[in-house]
Amino acid sequence: MASEQALIEPQAPISKYTKRVLLKTITTRSDGGVGLIGQRVVIGGWVKSSREFRKEPPVVATAPEVVAPPKDVTCVEVLQSRLPFIRSIMKVLGGGHHHSIRDKFDSIIPKPPQPSISILQISDGSCVSTLQVLVDSDLAPPSDVMPSGSCILVEGVLQKPSLQGKQLIELKAEEILHVGIVDQERYPLSKKRLPLELLRDSTHFRPRTTTVASVMRIRSTLTHATHTFFQENGFFYVQVPIITSTNCDGLSENFQVTTLLGNEKVESTVDGIEGVKLEDIKASIKEKSKQVEELKRSASNKEAMAAAIQDLKKTTELVSQLEAKQKAKSTGKSLEKDRVDFSKDFFSCQTYLTGSGRLHLESYASALGNVYSFGPRFNASRVDSNKILAEMWIVELEMAFSQLEDSMECANDFLKFMCKWILDNCSEDLHFVSKRVDKFVIDRLRLIAESQFEKISYTKAIEVLNQITEKKFETKVEWGAAFSEEHESYLTDEVYKKPVIIFNHPKELKPFYVHLNDDGKTVATFDLIVPKIGTLVRGSQNEERFNLLSTRIKELGLEKKQYEWYLDLRRHGKVKCSGFSFLFDPLILYATGLNDVKDAVPFPRSFGKANN
């Protein structure tokens, strides 16, 4: 089999841009890389673990005893030849002091360091497996290459393992191309396995751990799967704005985008912190006014006069702001939000980091048909959750000429596609996380890929939960209230034991733009809930009727001016649209068995935490 593999793949493929061989092209072959033995390759990576093998010192033949040294022999050579004899005399004459005398003789002739081989387990991030690399001490000192985290780029020959072990192949280094040494006192990682909670304080180093590296490879694979699904099903990719003047759902808390805080920093510095008082600034206004008047009379330098006028204007505005600030401090009140003049801000209006891109996507669905977007969305909620972050990656789509059932079917197909894709393309990483994190990971992925989802209305779900007698819920189950994580978990894990789609929620629980049902109480929405995670998808049919949409905006007390562009879609060529928002980060939790979403994203942003 190994020979057949070697014929199929006679050489290890070289990375096009870095001119090195990725470890996954060696270790993940069906023969474990045996078919590549004898090839000369360049390998680069980081040391995961290491050990040192000391070579036996060479045996030196004993020289014959010299009776009388030749005339050209030096005194040092004579001493060297007579050291054993001299030491024995010193031992007799000097008694207990022979050690210090011997040390002096040894210092004259230092011992060479014992040769050794550094046995390194190298990872380059392309796969779970490592490659054993042998580095002779003649090529690089063991103290440079053996510490965990050291970076090494070597050229050598692949060979059968020279030492006993589990490896099928190893690399004997013949040339060192690069060594990046590690400051062992400050390097946060070690050979020992560290808890994921501790690694959150070193997000820039944690991908070097095997667990986090596997999670990120799975994340990358699912990102590719996302685009593959929509591209194969006729969707166009549209980038929606991250900065928006629209509160996209009217419900969530938003991060405000502004440059006005920069002025406040200047005011704080001037307001006594650096010894400058408000009275001094007022006095400077008089001097600046005199300077302007003199320039006006002379009219000799128009540029200088314009600069002086602008300087006077800025100083006057600064005094007004500081006076208002002092007044607010004296009354114990801060400046109210509605007193902020956003016309002076960067965008000349109030803007936010977007919480959803569905409204913007709908405008493109009204022209292109089926569209999707994939990117970061933001929520300023101060709740500390293990499933929700301040910055989360979300897949969103809108389909023209579609209704609620169409959106539910698409969400069903998309989730099944994602789970099947990872089963087919991430076998090595899945087997690793099933051993290291959660042994049921693969079974859960197969559950979604192969099962039929349960569909129930919100009202039916309330009835089912109210019939439960063996379980007492902490949150009361009643119509009109949102389901808690406890409720969702019980429905998926205990009642139906598979994913559940709950549709037609009370209108008070959902955004303003969703389609109002004929009963006047519920709206055409759905939540897709999966075991372990909870809600993974939120979708809806959007309200296409202008009057009902306008009424809903008014009911929620939203500023209609923000949504005029969205209402225009109903005024001009309206179309029925539906879509959903798919929470990408919790899907990583489901696919890896992790319990906290902070460990599933490269650089998590959560309440009180934005380290780098």
Is it the case that residue 55 has pLDDT exceeding 70?
A: yes
Please check whether residue 66 lies inside any domain of the structure. Answer: no
- When divided into structural domains, the chain yields a total of 4
Residue 290 shares a structural domain with residue 408: no
Residue 175 shares a structural domain with residue 275: no
Helix (H, G, I), strand (E, B) or coil at 97: helix
Residue 60 φ then ψ, to 5°: -100, 125
Q: Residue 383 has what pLDDT?
A: 79
Q: What percent of the chain has pLDDT over 70?
A: 80
DSSP string, 123-170: E-SSSS--EEEEEETTTS-HHHHSSTT-EEEEEEEEE--SSSSS-S-E
Identify which has the larger pLDDT, 399 or 282. Answer: 399
Identify which has the larger pLDDT, 407 or 300. Answer: 407
Section 155-166 average pLDDT: 88
Residue 506 shares a structural domain with residue 388: yes
Section 441-451 average pLDDT: 95
Residue 140 shares a structural domain with residue 38: yes
Please check whether residue 11 lies inside any domain of the structure. Answer: yes
Please check whether residue 150 lies inside any domain of the structure. Answer: yes
**With b meaning 16 or more CB within 10 Å and e meaning fewer, what string describes 426-465?**
beebbebbbeebbeebbebbebbbeeebbbbebbebbebb
Q: Residue 227 has what pLDDT?
A: 98
Give the full edge-to-edge strand order of the sheet including 577-583: 236-237, 370-378, 391-400, 577-583, 534-541, 522-530, 500-506, 454-457
Query: CA 208 to CA 452: how far, in whole Å?
Result: 38
Section 560-585 average pLDDT: 95
Is it the case that residue 513 has pLDDT exceeding 90?
A: yes
Nearest to residue 526, comparing CAs of 597, 576, 591, 453?
A: 453
Residue 434 shares a structural domain with residue 361: yes
Is it the case that residue 93 has pLDDT exceeding 60?
A: no
Is it the case that residue 33 has pLDDT exceeding 70?
A: yes
Please check whether residue 193 lies inside any domain of the structure. Answer: no
Which of 222-236, 284-298, 548-562 ranks highest by mean pLDDT? 222-236
Identify which has the larger pLDDT, 94 or 255. Answer: 255
Lowest mean pLDDT among 17-21, 226-230, 410-414: 17-21
Where does residue 444 fall: left (phi above 0), alpha (psi -120 to 50 degrees), or beta otherwise?
alpha
Please check whether residue 526 lies inside any domain of the structure. Answer: yes
Lowest mean pLDDT among 168-182, 195-209, 280-294, 481-495: 280-294
Please check whether residue 345 lies inside any domain of the structure. Answer: no
Residue 409 shares a structural domain with residue 485: yes
Please check whether residue 196 lies inside any domain of the structure. Answer: no
Query: CA 462 to CA 479: how far, in whole Å?
Result: 7
> What DSSP character marks residue 510?
S
Residue 560 shares a structural domain with residue 436: yes
Nearest to residue 488, comparing CAs of 434, 419, 538?
A: 538
Lowest mean pLDDT among 123-137, 263-277, 491-505, 506-520: 263-277
Judge contact between 419 and 531, C-beta under 8 A. Answer: no
Q: Which of 307, 339, 371 is the last residue of a domain?
A: 339
pLDDT tens by residue, 293-312: 766 666 556 666 667 777 77
Q: Which of 339, 370, 386 is the last residue of a domain?
A: 339
Say which residue the tokens 């549209």 belong to: 238
Section 38-64 average pLDDT: 82
Query: CA 256 to CA 240: how far, in whole Å?
Result: 17
Section 213-234 average pLDDT: 98
Residue 82 shares a structural domain with residue 216: no
Q: Residue 318 has what pLDDT?
A: 75
Residue 47 shares a structural domain with residue 182: yes
pLDDT tens by residue, 334-350: 444 556 788 888 998 88
Please check whether residue 325 lies inside any domain of the structure. Answer: yes
- Computed on alpha carbons and rounded to an integer, the radius of gyration of the chain in Å comes to 36
Range of the domain at 98: 75-108
DSSP string, 223-278: HHHHHHHHHHTTPEE-PPPSEESS-SSSSS---EE-STHHHHHHHHIIIIITS--H
Residue 222 shares a structural domain with residue 161: no
Q: Which of 293, 319, 339 is the last residue of a domain?
A: 339
Q: 352: which strand partners?
A: 244, 256
Is it the case that residue 274 has pLDDT exceeding 50?
A: no
Report yes or no on whether pTM surpasses 0.95. Answer: no
Q: Residue 77 has what pLDDT?
A: 54
Is it the case that residue 355 has pLDDT exceeding 80?
A: yes
What CATH number does the domain containing 51 carry? 2.40.50.140
What CATH number does the domain containing 566 carry? 3.30.930.10
Mean predicted lDDT score pLDDT of the chain: 85
